[in-house]
């Protein structure tokens, strides 16, 4: 029995580590209940311990399969850039003297391989691990992509938190995005396994949003000490247990915070062990049509817009200049919640007649992923949807670009590669990355500037403080051409964002 605090191998049946004194607990993978050593069934829900439980000193949950590796500290599988963020968070906690812990709202995620014991029962242990480990790694990669924290990985799954120890205001959305990504990636992996080895592999994911008290983060191994409040983490484990293979199930708490950002199917009320009232659960079907809090609020009904007359007048003056052929850049800067997006929303309603409006958004989890706002902008412009196959996407892009101007034909390979459309005869992959990057920027700029000659163009980029470096470089290039086009570039951002447009005569 290995202590997760100091790593000492203790004899079976110990209640405390003989080296550091940390208590051992066995967490039930079904309900999260702490069981004493030697239990063969969970004392809370009666689940059999068909595999030896992991010794744990936190509220982690999960079982190790007989052939699974020893539990590793989070530092062993956390990417270095996230490890530094976690250590910085602990330093900030120490500076705040938060020794007694801080209450935080988090989204917990549990994912596992359904029927893993049946899957590997006839396999050699090494072969079994060679099948399961890549699936576990894909789960962890999906969590880390959205800056979540993998608390623990077990023999056939993981337990992760979003919102702590790295704080994010959109942690429920990040958790659902991560769940969708791990399902998508694991389906690809499963297809390969099915073809090569005839082995079926499916995962299930459960999520819940609730409160925990964060107490400490050890800087050496990133072990996090926290206490769940109520059923915040165990309910996520139970959502996983209710999920069918290949699906994602969330609690009502998470659903209410993410509805609109994602598409859901109501599964009705379920009786959950340890919870007195029925719990309403929902299956995640995919990404929804809405991207921002303003869009979600607009669907529910916005409050009456009052004030901001002077700001709207300034924007209208810039728009009049734009329509006369003198493009402008207008920025709205302010702290979160002051109404930057609402101001643009109202201006768009007043001014969109007789012009083309293209709108894109930066999101907090997208800063590390190049071109994300640009890709969304182009998908909107070319009217690409998830239902379009590769052939129809290519036809839409080609048809629209060449209808505007036949001279744009040389931009097509760069647009295709940015939008993920394979070109069998394309040699762009062999082109120097910096040259390809510059030509891609030029292709998008030419397309937008040429479109503005057909009709005035309102181009909206929201939340530049989350902008990735590549999209920022494109905006810098585009800003040099705005003045001679019928293009109004509207941007908003928080005070910490920096740019070099302030000396331009066409910037407001």
Start-end of CATH 3.40.50 domains in the chain: 297-493
- What band does 298 get if pLDDT is binned at 50, 70 and 90? low
Whether 457 has a pLDDT exceeding 90, the answer reads: yes
Cα separation, 63 vs 51, in Å, equals 6
CB neighbour class for 501 (10 Å; exposed up to 12, middle 13-18, buried from 19): middle
Whether 184 has a pLDDT exceeding 70, the answer reads: yes
Asked if residues 163 and 106 have their Cβ atoms less than 8 Å apart, the reply is yes
Start-end of CATH 3.30.70.1230 domains in the chain: 72-289
Whether 164 has a pLDDT exceeding 50, the answer reads: yes
| CATH for the stretch 297-493 | 3.40.50
Q: What is the mean pLDDT of residues 282-300?
A: 79
More confidently predicted of 47 and 370: 370
Can you give the pLDDT at residue 507?
A: 84
Can you give the pLDDT at residue 451?
A: 93
Whether 1 has a pLDDT exceeding 60, the answer reads: no
Can you give the pLDDT at residue 65?
A: 38
More confidently predicted of 107 and 339: 107
pLDDT in tens, 2-61: 554 444 556 655 666 665 555 566 655 555 566 665 566 667 666 555 433 333 333 333
Asked if residues 64 and 154 have their Cβ atoms less than 8 Å apart, the reply is yes
Cα separation, 27 vs 162, in Å, equals 21
Q: What is the mean pLDDT of residues 105-130?
A: 77
Contacts 24+ apart (CB under 8 A), 137-140: 138/182, 138/185, 138/186, 138/189, 139/111, 139/182, 139/186, 139/203, 140/77
More confidently predicted of 21 and 300: 300
Which of 110-119, 186-195, 263-272, 479-488 is predicted least confidently?
110-119
Q: What is the mean pLDDT of residues 213-219?
A: 84
Q: What is the mean pLDDT of residues 481-503?
A: 88
pLDDT in tens, 45-86: 665 554 333 333 333 333 333 344 456 788 888 888 888 988
Contacts 24+ apart (CB under 8 A), 438-442: 439/414, 440/414, 441/473, 441/474, 441/477, 442/411, 442/477
Which of 57-66, 176-185, 252-261, 339-348 is predicted least confidently?
57-66
Whether 119 has a pLDDT exceeding 70, the answer reads: no
* Distant-in-sequence, close-in-space partners of 255: CB < 8 Å, separation ≥ 6: 264, 280, 282
- What band does 346 get if pLDDT is binned at 50, 70 and 90? confident
Can you give the pLDDT at residue 180?
A: 94
CA atoms within 13 A on the CB side of 58: 24
Looking only at the bridges linking them, the beta strands covering 328-333 and 487-493 are parallel
Residues, the chain, total? 508
Cα 296-297-301 angle, rounded to 5 deg: 125
State the Rg of the chain over Cα. Answer: 26
Question: How many Å separate Cα 259 from the centre of its chain?
Answer: 15
Cα separation, 37 vs 60, in Å, equals 16
Share the mean pLDDT of the chain.
82
Whether 371 has a pLDDT exceeding 50, the answer reads: yes
List the one residue out of 209, 321, 311 whose CA is nearest residue 258.
209
Angle subtended by helix axes 340-351 and 293-300, to nearest 10: 60
Share of the chain above pLDDT 70, in %: 80
pLDDT in tens, 393-440: 999 999 999 999 999 999 998 999 888 887 645 677 777 888 888 999
Which range in 35-49, 279-293, 360-374 is most confidently predicted, on average pLDDT?
279-293
Which of 37-41, 93-97, 238-242, 248-252 is predicted least confidently?
37-41
Question: How many Å separate Cα 2 from the centre of its chain?
Answer: 33
Can you give the pLDDT at residue 66?
A: 35
Contacts 24+ apart (CB under 8 A), 68-71: 68/129, 68/154, 68/155, 68/156, 69/129, 70/2, 71/2, 71/4, 71/152
> Buried b vs exposed e over 37-73: b needs ≥16 C-beta within 10 Å?
eeeeebebbebebebebbbbbbbbbbbbbebbeebeb
Question: How many Å separate Cα 325 from the centre of its chain?
Answer: 40
Q: Which CATH superfamily is 72-289 part of? A: Nucleotide cyclase, GGDEF domain (3.30.70.1230)
- What band does 342 get if pLDDT is binned at 50, 70 and 90? confident
Can you give the pLDDT at residue 501?
A: 80
């Amino acid at each position: 029995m290995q202590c997760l605090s100091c790593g000492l191998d203790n004899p079976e049946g110990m209640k405390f580590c003989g080296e550091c004194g940390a208590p051992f607990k066995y967490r039930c993978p079904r309900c999260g209940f702490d069981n004493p050593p030697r239990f063969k069934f969970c004392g809370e829900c009666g689940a059999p311990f068909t595999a030896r439980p992991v010794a744990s000193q936190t509220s982690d949950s999960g079982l190790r399969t007989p052939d699974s590796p020893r539990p590793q500290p989070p530092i062993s599988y956390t990417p270095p850039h996230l490890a530094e963020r976690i250590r910085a968070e602990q330093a900030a906690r120490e500076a705040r003297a938060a020794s007694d812990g801080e209450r935080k709202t988090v989204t917990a995620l549990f994912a596992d391989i359904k029927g893993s014991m049946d899957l590997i029962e006839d396999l050699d242990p090494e072969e079994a691990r060679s099948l399961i480990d890549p699936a576990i790694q894909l789960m962890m990669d999906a969590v880390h992509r959205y800056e979540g924290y993998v608390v623990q990985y077990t023999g056939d799954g993981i337990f992760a938190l979003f919102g702590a120890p790295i704080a994010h205001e959109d942690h429920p959305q990040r958790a659902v995005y991560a769940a969708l990504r791990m399902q998508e990636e694991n389906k690809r992996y499963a297809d390969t396994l099915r073809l090569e080895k005839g082995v079926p592999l499916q995962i299930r994911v459960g999520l819940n949003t609730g409160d925990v008290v964060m107490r400490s983060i050890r800087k050496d191994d990133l072990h996090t000490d926290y206490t769940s409040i109520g059923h915040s983490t165990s309910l996520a484990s139970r959502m996983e247990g209710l999920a069918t293979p290949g699906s994602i199930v969330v609690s009502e708490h998470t659903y209410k915070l993410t509805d609109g950002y994602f598409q859901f199917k109501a599964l009705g009320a379920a009786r959950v062990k340890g919870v007195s009232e029925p719990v309403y659960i929902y299956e995640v079907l995919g990404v929804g049509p809405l991207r921002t809090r303003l869009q979600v609020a607009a669907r529910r009904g916005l409050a009456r817009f009052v004030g901001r007359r002077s700001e709207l007048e300034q924007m209208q003056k810039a728009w009049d200049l734009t329509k006369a052929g003198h493009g402008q850049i207008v920025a709205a800067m302010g702290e979160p919640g002051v109404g930057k997006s609402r101001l643009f929303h109202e201006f768009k309603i007043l001014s969109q007649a007789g012009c083309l409006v293209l709108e894109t958004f930066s999101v907090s989890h997208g800063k590390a992923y190049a071109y994300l706002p640009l890709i969304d902008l182009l998908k909107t412009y070319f009217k690409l949807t998830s239902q379009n196959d590769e052939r129809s996407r290519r036809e839409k892009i080609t048809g629209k670009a060449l209808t505007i101007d036949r001279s744009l034909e040389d931009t097509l390979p760069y647009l295709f590669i940015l939008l993920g459309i394979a070109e069998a005869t394309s040699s762009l992959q062999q082109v120097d990355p910096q040259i390809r990057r510059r030509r891609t920027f030029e292709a998008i700029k030419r397309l937008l500037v040429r479109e503005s000659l057909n009709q005035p163009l309102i181009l909206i980029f929201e939340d530049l403080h989350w902008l990735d470096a590549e999209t920022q470089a494109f905006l810098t290039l585009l800003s040099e051409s705005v003045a001679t086009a019928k293009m109004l570039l509207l941007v908003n951002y928080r005070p910490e964002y920096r740019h070099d447009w302030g000396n331009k005569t066409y910037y407001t």
